[in-house]
Structure 1
């Protein structure tokens, strides 16, 4: 395994002084499963959180090969709770004969601020449908029905569905089952922690599917690419980034984790995983653009606008800068350089 070198960092400065420093670890894996580049420690064990959703959606993709792409996309989503999102979740939920009462994700206000404000004005409480993970849970309920597993207890780590999802993480990540650490996510399903290179290998498999899982992986990749709005929502990084980068499927996770499946690079398909150690999510777009640039993706003005180098206050005055020091170490010479 490669040895960890310099940790990347994103520094937010005000008046020329560092105000916040966000340290970064990253791994890049090719279609052969080899770690070809890294920043910091590619063996760092971290929780991908919602970055795991494309893998968590595989049981329903495998069990329902004719599932519409928008419903598969919402099963991979951390959605914003808009009416468009909720309509697709409701349709997916109905396929298993389930209702909102069967969802075990809990409830939080919609991520979309206008929808959240509308509920307040209407004096309506959010429901589990508004939870950003409700699509994932609807997909899990359908996977249970398709596989003859009980819907009851579907979030329990010992449930057959969650056991299968853990196995898929190990298989795609190229690690042993004991290397997949089990915690609990915000929506009550198991949160699975793996080394960064294992998550990057998983996204490399999404970018370049092979083996028995290839058809399902290809459908997940295609659904995310075809329905970027459903994967997140207006103004959010996944939704904005995917249409701007050819051959990219991207999935954010809580606490500033990110996974990217990139098909079009000088090295062929690649999988990328990175973690901002302090969970500082404002650093995420800066890291994503830096890594994409080093991998040979064209960084256009539209992309640069996602991670501006200057900071402005509410009056529009420039008050600071952002310095990005995220340079990949390569196992061999970088052909994109």
Structure 2
């Protein structure tokens, strides 16, 4: 940890108990670095924060797609009946079914939906996987582009090759600088420098060039359907309606990306990584950087990241402190 790293400090009894280092980059509409803390060149995996870019082939190939279906293709959804209904509608457009999804299976993130499956003695299906909308969108993108649906999750598939190219193009880096791993849902997980990830979100905030219509469609779908992007009580769903013209997308291991269209400094892209993957630090960093960029932070927003820690009996037992020493320029 260096002197310029951001930190989220959880204290108990006045003593620091846990410290989460934070790396963050802010990029303006022209793609220039505006501010950072920690290592803006850190090569890291946005994980599900890549979903708005992964949905671009779908938006390009089917510009008339309803916004809710494009939103679910960008989502890490909670598996509620509302989410599943949109995924099924998107699957039907490509003549696909849940059996064609290669994301795997896990219980719904939403506790009510998970409990209902247990009550009915039913097992989760691939539809309940938080990435099923992304996979349904990928299957439809394959059909629209004349690519095979078989093997759509593999690195060498034309869809995944195109998605990697889009990360490089929008991130302003060479293709070789977009490194590859495999995500939890089996599609390629792409790693790139943090400032390049911020640039992806800056392009969402201020679309330009040949990709502008598709970028605008993704931005509008995310901001118009925040519930579909995540679900009840989850950060993307609760934060976006509170900040005008904000498209936000969380990724696993405490990555976060934000496309902020209306800031005092104009459209901005923001990306940060909590180094140890401590996801509890994420809302605290999100609010701190928005405030540093001139966004008014309301009481409703502060409730997403309380500064006081309470135990199960309701007693105050500690605090959460955020240090975000932004270096400008």
TM-score when scaled to structure 2? 0.99
Q: Which residue of 2 aligns with 1:142?
A: 140
Query: Matches of 1:163 and 1:146 in 2, distance apart?
Result: 16
Q: Which residue of 2 aligns with 1:101?
A: 99
C-alpha contact (below 8 Å) 1:5/1:39 kept by paired residues: no
Query: Matches of 1:284 and 1:100 in 2, distance apart?
Result: 32
Query: Matches of 2:79 and 2:225 in 1, distance apart?
Result: 15
Q: Which residue of 1 aligns with 2:76?
A: 78
Report the 3-state secondary structure (helix = DSSP H, G, I; strand = E; otherwise coil) of the residue aligned with 2:250: strand
Cα deviation for residue 321 of structure 1 reads: 0.6
Query: Matches of 2:325 and 2:139 in 1, distance apart?
Result: 42
Q: How does 1:30-45 map to 2 (within 5 A)?
A: 30-45=28-43
Query: Matches of 2:117 and 2:12 in 1, distance apart?
Result: 37
Cα deviation for residue 240 of structure 1 reads: 0.3
Q: How does 1:146-161 map to 2 (within 5 A)?
A: 146-161=144-159
Query: Matches of 1:240 and 1:266 in 2, distance apart?
Result: 22
Q: Which residue of 1 aligns with 2:204?
A: 206
TM-score when scaled to structure 1? 0.96
- CA deviations over 1:40-88 (Å, ceiling 9, x no partner): 1100000000000000000000000000000000000000000000000
- CA deviations over 1:258-301 (Å, ceiling 9, x no partner): 00000111211000000000000000000000000011111011
Report the 3-state secondary structure (helix = DSSP H, G, I; strand = E; otherwise coil) of the residue aligned with 1:74: helix
Report the 3-state secondary structure (helix = DSSP H, G, I; strand = E; otherwise coil) of the residue aligned with 1:28: strand
Q: Which residue of 2 aligns with 1:292?
A: 290
Q: Which runs of 5+ in 2 are unaligned?
A: none
Q: How does 1:168-317 map to 2 (within 5 A)?
A: 168-317=166-315
Q: Which residue of 1 aligns with 2:318?
A: 320
Q: Which residue of 2 aligns with 1:334?
A: none
Q: Which runs of 5+ in 1 are unaligned?
A: 332-337
* Residue correspondences, number: 328
Cα deviation for residue 5 of structure 1 reads: 6.0
Cα deviation for residue 327 of structure 1 reads: 2.5
Q: Which residue of 2 aligns with 1:29?
A: 27
RMSD over aligned Cα atoms: 0.8
